Structures are given as structure tokens and as C-alpha cells.
Amino acid sequence: MEMVLRAIAVFLFLLVLTRVIGRRELSSLEPFDLILLIVLGDVVQQGLTQDDYSLTGAFLVIGTFAILQVFVSWIGYRFPFARPVLEGEPIIIIQDGELIERNLKRERLTRQEIAEEARSQQIAHISEVRWGVLETNGKISFIKS
């Protein structure tokens, strides 16, 4: 039972942590970020199972995480007012070819990152974009003028 309670506490902490970190950072992992995630996984595992290396302990922790993920998903589905808190909302970062600086600062995005993403989607210049939206998954959608 102690492992299940630890799994619930760690799950909630990781949920809050991912909301605080922001969506753009999680969607564009650099090699160092990937290494940090691997190390984080090991640290989380040690905090969850401590010295318990049994299959039962592993199944309890994995099952608890799976149930919590389904539960959070169900809450977002069942209670639409909770969805922005759990999943976030799309944010407009370009309107009529102009960057919205306030939203860029809020999401810690640079002009260079936006221009790079636009080029990857065959858009030569930001002025060609009617709407640019940072989606909840961290990707940027562009709608041309």
C-alpha cells in the first residue's frame, strides 16, 4: 500500500511539473534534455520502489500510474471545465502576420524558434501567416493568409 501512495504522490508531482515547465520545452527535446529525462526516470523509480525489486512492486507502481492516467483523462473528458487545467489550451502566437510578444514571453518562445518552425512548414516569412497557434501538444500550427 505504501508504494501505491508513493506512486500517487509522484504522479501528481509530475503532472504539476509538466504543466509548470510548459509545452514547448517538452515537445522539442535536445540531447541533454533526453539524458535528464532518463535520469529523472531512474530517480522516480528509486523513489517509488525504494529497495523493493519484486515484480509485484513494479506491477503495483505501473498499475497505479496507468490508473491515474486514465482517471486524469476521464476527468478531462467528463468535466470540460477541468480540461484547461489538465491539458492546457491552444495559445495564439501570431495574428495577421504579427507576433504576439506577450504570448511568446509567457511560453518562453523566441522569434527564431517561430521562424524555424515556419520554415519547416514551407512558410518563408511570418508575414504570410494569418494565425499561428501553439497547440497543447507543443506543436505550432500555421494558417496562411
Specify the pLDDT at position 77: 92
Specify the pLDDT at position 36: 67
* C-alpha–C-alpha distance, residues 110 and 101, integer Å: 9
Specify the pLDDT at position 18: 75
Q: Which pLDDT tens digits describe the chain residue by residue (145 residues)?
A: 788 888 888 888 888 877 776 665 545 566 666 676 777 777 777 777 777 777 777 788 888 888 988 898 899 899 999 988 888 889 999 999 999 999 999 888 999 999 999 999 999 999 999 999 998 878 899 999 8
CA distances from 28 to 46, 66, 140 (A): 27, 25, 11
Specify the pLDDT at position 30: 63
Instruction: Kindly give, in sequence order, each residue whose CB lies less than 8 Å from that of residue 12, ignoring residues fewer than 6 positions away.
Output: none
* C-alpha–C-alpha distance, residues 61 and 131, integer Å: 43
Which domains are delineated in the chain? 2-87 (no CATH), 91-144 (3.30.240.20)
Q: The pTM is what?
A: 0.67
First to last CA, the chain: 57
Specify the pLDDT at position 49: 72
Give φ, ψ of 132 to 5 degrees.
-125, 125
Grid cell in block for residue 125: 516569412
Strands (E), the chain: 91-95, 98-99, 129-134, 140-144
User: According to the 3-state scheme, what is the secondary structure of 105-138?
Assistant: HHCCCCHHHHHHHHHHCCCCCHHHEEEEEECCCC
